[in-house]
A and B are shown apart, each in its own frame.
Chain A
Amino acid sequence: MNLKIFTPRGGVHPDSHKTESSETPIRHVPMPPRLIIPLIQGSQGSARTIVTVGDKVLKGQCIGEAEGADGTSIHAPTSGTVTEIGRYPMAHPSGLSSQSIVIEPDGENHWITYEPLDPTTANRDELILRIQASGIVGMGGAVFPSHLKARSKINTLVINGAECEPWMTGDDRLMRERAANIVSGAAVLAHLTGAQQTLIGIEDNKPEAIAATRTAVDDMEPVARECLGTGKMTVIVVPTRYPTGERKQLIHVLTGIEIPPSDRVTKFGIQCFNVATAHAVCRALLHGEPMVSRIVTVTGNVKRPGNYETPLGMPIADLLAFCGVKPNTTHVLMGGPMMGFTLPNLDAPVTKGCNCLIAASKELFPPPPSEQPCIRCGECVDACPVNLQPFELYWASRAKNFDGAKYHRLFDCMECGCCAYVCPAHIPLVDYFRYASSEIRARDEEQKAADQARMRFEFRSSRLEREKAEKSARLAARATETRTKSAADAALIAAAAERVNEQAQIEPSLQDNAAPLYDQQT
């Protein structure tokens, strides 16, 4: 058992601002007048509506079936009536809308009949199908479908309780209050993936969560070992550092294995799930509850910061209003302050990836000072967790030297923001990188389209060429044919004339008649 901690390069230590929201227990929120559930809730696929307007639904009833192998199902977050199926704004930086099911709650909150699935008796495919049918996606924010990850066969299962983003405390509270569920979910995932060891990584700024998780592991591990045949489970305390909660970073800290940005973690026999995802797996399989709610940290410029068990589909504005958002709030961030984005529209609903909402004010999030020229001081290089030279990327991106940006490994960048965080010249480095990568993608697309057009054109010209050649070959063949035919005719005529001549020689009296006959023929 390896308990050594590894220290990856780079990273930053911003003010944590955790205590604002971490010291109150998880609270429930009142049901809003309507819930908006987008059909797309996973990063790899969507769901297909299986209800129609007017249908009565129960809490946990499937309202959208997973589409294809990569989609994930969606469920009614409470009992009520489907009132509309239409396009609503998404919680996304683009502010685009997406097809959503609108449910008007009936206030009863009636659950469907729970159908737990016993992992000790159910077979692996059944369990994985159930994870998909329960609509479980990565709850750290990336919303990658969990059933796709649970299918992999690996040695080491990593459970991510690092929660390195400042302000966010949802995982912390979840571990403090529901560690047993997390550990059970982790045991099921270890069983499914065949992992021999499970490492639960938690940052050292969450001592209560660490203690609670350790107790749960002590209680559950022997049971899991006996019932599911899973291996050792260990809680590992990792130093607080941003971005240790990024999965490859956490894997590096826990195992010492540094996975290249372009490689999949499974190539190294490792898979990683967030603690909240493990919790959801436990609820889905052991209790038969599909994913209908999630814990959202609401913090920042609000009167009652904390963690809220929020029904999926609750409009963000309603949730913020319940938490007492203060009037001088300038904008709202979704996700943490390092990688989150400004919500373009507060009418967007809470979705499975909505881990944190931060109400921002001028005091809490002052606008960054004006950008100054880069002095190549190298602070960004020291801060970069993936060993890039952000200032070189900056110079290349700024000069639109996209090949240079690629040379400096632009696509290794995960946009964690450490470089921009430390930059003494206040350069919004990540913006430059986003610009460059979108330009490169657009250029590649264009190149692809141009290549296709060229191929089409070349194919068409070669087809025309071929047709032309075929046609002329056909004409030539016909001409030859005609020529041979007329040559044969001429030969026949010549032969006939010959015969006539021969006859004339025998019968000179007939010779005078033969010549006009030949003239007529030609």
Chain B
Amino acid sequence: MTSPHIRQPASVQRVMTTVLVALLPGIAAYVWQFGAGILVNLVIATVSALAAEALVLRLRKRPLWVTLSDGSAIVTAWLVALILPSIAPWWLTVAGVLVAIIGAKHLYGGIGQNPFNPAMAAYCAMIVAYPALMSQWPSVDGVDFATQLHLILGGSRGIDGITGATALDTMRTGLHNLGNVQDILTSNTFGYAGGRGWEWIAAGYVVGGVFLLARRIIPWSLPLGFIVGMGVMASVSYLIAPESFPSPLFHFASGGTMLAAFFIVTDPVTCASSPLGKFIFALGVGIITWVIRAFGVYPDGIAFAVLLMNICVPFINRATPLAPAGQRKDRP
């Protein structure tokens, strides 16, 4: 046996479990605001993720239990479920999970080896393949659990009043129709800061994120970089033309900003390695997200922004090596 002969009681399982626990406040807010449909999707995603993981491990002749029990597949599953509409039909969720687990993760060599964020890859694949389904979100009032279950199980759609547009969607369409930000914000879709109902979920994610920061599961450089990147772009544009660009607060509270800040850009596998590199990576995600939101065709650009920055990670790593010890202080 070789040194060190002692190990800190730490495990990948513990890291992943902490991340799952940190997602709970956001999920609770989701259930509170939009009903229990999301729980059904979480279960569907979890089961299909574990099944997909087991299948691929079997095909790759890898030990099943070590990887299945590490919890990483469940984290991916929950993230996929949370970024897809909670009333999406079950097969959309399953397809998203399969893209994430098989396409984005295992085709690149499994956990730790994937260059692209699996959940974001799933989101991009789904929004390109099923743009209509991906834009149907539950409206904050009046979708009971039975109806949600009906929709999830593949029931007929097109019932007005059940689905609602998201805040980003409403804003984008409104601005496209030459509306003015302040007028658009008077719409029923919006709450105090972002989308009505959604802002509470965002708050839940912030609570979970602070918990992860306190437990030192995630470094501060990633959420900070992301929020600074988006915040600077949104602030400058808002100060120049407040009628055409919504405020940074709106950006923070809408769409997947907070989920991304604490749970997506913080994926250690696909972000840059040094603290400075991490900051630059997250800054890039924040800036590109804002650009896509402001000028792109998709309502939320986080997924594309993350994938684009994932591509840049090797270059960021090259450009931001850690300083060798002893060369950062003045010599006597």
* Chain A residues close to B by CB (< 8 Å): 12, 14-15, 166, 248, 256-261, 263, 268-269, 331, 333, 335, 337-342, 360, 365, 367-370, 372-379, 381-382, 385-389, 391-392, 408-409, 412, 415, 417-418, 420-426, 428, 430-431, 434
Question: 7 nearest interchain CB pairs?
Answer: A260-B326, A417-B4, A386-B325, A424-B10, A337-B5, A373-B112, A258-B326
Q: Do B3 and A424 touch (CB < 8 A)?
A: no
Question: Cβ of B67: which chain A residues have Cβ within 8 Å of it?
Answer: 372-373
Listed residue (B2, B5, B112, B329) with the most chain A CB atoms within 10 angstroms of its CB: B5
Indicate if the CB atoms of B6 and A338 lie closer than 8 Å. yes
Task: Tell me whether B159 is interfacial, beta carbon within 8 Å.
Answer: no
**Taking the nearest CB of chain B, how far is it from the CB of A181, in angstroms?**
31
Closest B residue to A6 using CB positions: B329
Measured between alpha carbons, how far is A166 from B111 in the docked complex, in Å? 34
Contact residues in B for A422 (Cβ distance below 8 Å)? 8, 10
Asked whether A417 lies within 8 Å of B11 as measured between CB atoms, the reply is no
Contact pick for B4, options A256, A370, A420, CB 8 Å? A420
Name the one of B5, B7, B219, B331 contacting A340, with C-beta atoms under 8 angstroms: B5
Q: How far is the CA of A385 from the CA of B322 in the complex (A)?
A: 12
Chain A residues, CB < 8 A from B72: 375
Quick one: which of B169-224 are within 8 Å of A by CB? 216, 219
The CA of A424 and the CA of B15, in the complex, are separated in Å by 8
List 7 other contacts, CB 8 Å, given A415-B3, A424-B14.
A260-B325, A261-B326, A372-B66, A372-B67, A373-B110, A420-B7, A422-B8
Residues of A within 8 A of B2 (CB): 341-342, 428, 430-431, 434
As a 0/1 sequence over residues 92 to 117 of chain B, the CB contacts with chain A under 8 angstroms (1 = contact) are 00000000000000000011110000
Q: With A and B bound together, what is the CA distance between A260 and B323 in angstroms?
A: 11
Stretch of B46-54, B267-275, B303-311 contacting A (4+ beta carbons < 8 Å) = B267-275
Q: Classify the secondary structure of B's interface with A.
A: loop
* Smallest CB separation, A269 vs chain B (Å): 7
Write out the residue numbers on chain A whose beta carbons fall within 8 Å of the beta carbon of B6.
14-15, 166, 337-338, 365, 421
The residue among A261, A337, A373, A385 with the most chain B CB atoms within 10 A of its own CB is A373
- Most chain-A CB neighbours within 10 Å: which of B4, B66, B219? B4
List, in ascending order, chain B residues with CB within 8 A of A421's CB: 4, 6-8
- B274: A residues at CB distance < 8 A: 381, 389
B109 to chain A, nearest CB (A): 9
- B328 touches A (CB below 8 Å): yes
B65-101 CB contact bits vs A (8 Å, 1 = yes)? 0110010100000000000000000000000000000
A372/B70 in contact, CB under 8 A? yes
**Which B residues are CB-close (under 8 A) to A387?**
322-325
0/1 interface trace, chain B 261-280, chain A, CB 8 Å (1 if under): 00000001100011000000
Contacts of B4 in A (CB 8 A): 337-339, 417-418, 420-421, 430
Look across to chain B and name the residue whose beta carbon is closest to the beta carbon of A267: B331
User: Is B1 among interface residues, defined by CB-CB distance under 8 A?
Assistant: yes
In the bound complex, do residue A257 and residue B10 qualify as a contact, i.e. CB atoms below 8 Å apart?
A: no
By a CB distance below 8 angstroms, the chain A residues around B3 are 335, 337-341, 415, 417, 430
One digit per residue, 1 when the CB lies within 8 angstroms of any chain A CB and 0 when it does not, for chain B 1-25 equals: 1111111101110110000000000
Q: Which B residues touch A260, using CB under 8 A?
A: 324-327
Check B155 for interface membership: any CB of A closer than 8 A: no
In the complex, what's the smallest C-beta–C-beta distance from A154 to chain B, in angstroms? 12
Closest to B271 in A: A376
| CB < 8 Å A-B pair total | 133
Is the beta-carbon distance between A375 and B269 smaller than 8 angstroms?
Answer: yes
A393 CB, nearest partner CB in chain B, Å: 11
- Report whether over half of chain A's contact residues are helix, strand or loop; otherwise say mixed: loop
Are B7 and A368 in touch, CB under 8 angstroms? yes
CB-nearest residue of chain A relative to B328?
A258
Considering the chains assembled together, what is the distance between the CA atoms of A418 and B7 in angstroms?
9
Q: Which residue of A lies closest to B5 (CB)?
A: A337
Does B268 lie within 8 Å of A378, measured CB to CB? yes
| A370 x B66 contact (CB < 8 A) | yes
Chain A residue contacts of B5, Cβ below 8 A: 333, 337-338, 340, 342, 360, 365
Residues of A within 8 A of B1 (CB): 331, 342, 367
- Identify which of A375, A415, A417 contacts B268 (C-beta below 8 A): A375
A425 to B113, CA, bound (A): 14
B158 at the interface (CB under 8 A from A): no
Contact status of A372 and B273, CB under 8 A, knowing A258-B325, A261-B325, A263-B326: no
29 A-B pairs (CB sep. < 8 Å): A256-B329, A257-B332, A258-B328, A261-B324, A261-B326, A268-B331, A341-B3, A342-B5, A365-B6, A367-B1, A369-B11, A372-B11, A372-B12, A375-B72, A375-B111, A375-B268, A376-B268, A377-B15, A378-B219, A387-B325, A388-B325, A389-B322, A409-B324, A412-B324, A417-B3, A423-B7, A424-B12, A425-B11, A430-B3
Partner of A258, one of B273, B322, B329: B329
B14 contacts across to A, CB distance below 8 A: 424
B contact residues around A425 at 8 Å (CB):
11-12
Which chain B residue has the least Cβ–Cβ distance from A167? B6
Q: Give A13's nearest chain B residue, CB to CB.
A: B8
Known contacts A378-B219, A387-B322; decide if A257 and B112 are in contact (CB<8 Å).
no
Which residues of chain A have C-beta atoms less than 8 A from B11's C-beta?
369, 372, 424-426
| Residues on the B chain within 8 Å of A379, using CB | 10
CB distance from A240 to the nearest CB of B (A): 16
Q: Residues of A contacting B268 with CB < 8 Å?
A: 375-378
Interface pair A381/B273, CB less than 8 Å apart = yes
CB pair A423 B10 closer than 8 Å: yes
Residue of A nearest to B216 (CB): A382
List the B residue with the shortest CB-CB distance to A407: B321
Q: Cα distance A370–B268 when bound, in Å?
A: 21
Complex Cα distance A360/B5, Å?
A: 10
Tell me the chain B residues, 120-145 only, with Cβ under 8 Å from chain A.
Answer: none
Q: Are B327 and A257 touching (Cβ within 8 A)? A: no
> Whose C-beta in chain B lies nearest to the C-beta of A370?
B66
Taking the closest CB of chain B, its distance from the CB of A471, in whole angstroms, is 57
The distance in angstroms between the C-alpha atoms of A340 and B4, with both chains bound, is 7
B73 smallest CB distance to A (angstroms): 13
CB-nearest residue of chain B to A255: B332
Give complex CA distance A382, B326 in Å.
16
Residues of B within 8 A of A417 (CB): 3-4
Report chain B residues within 8 Å CB of A360. Answer: 5
Cβ B8 vs Cβ A389 within 8 A: no
Write out the residue numbers on chain B whose beta carbons fall within 8 Å of the beta carbon of A341.
2-3
Q: What residues of chain A lie closer than 8 Å to B219, measured between beta carbons?
A: 378
Taking the closest CB of chain A, its distance from the CB of B218, in whole angstroms, is 9
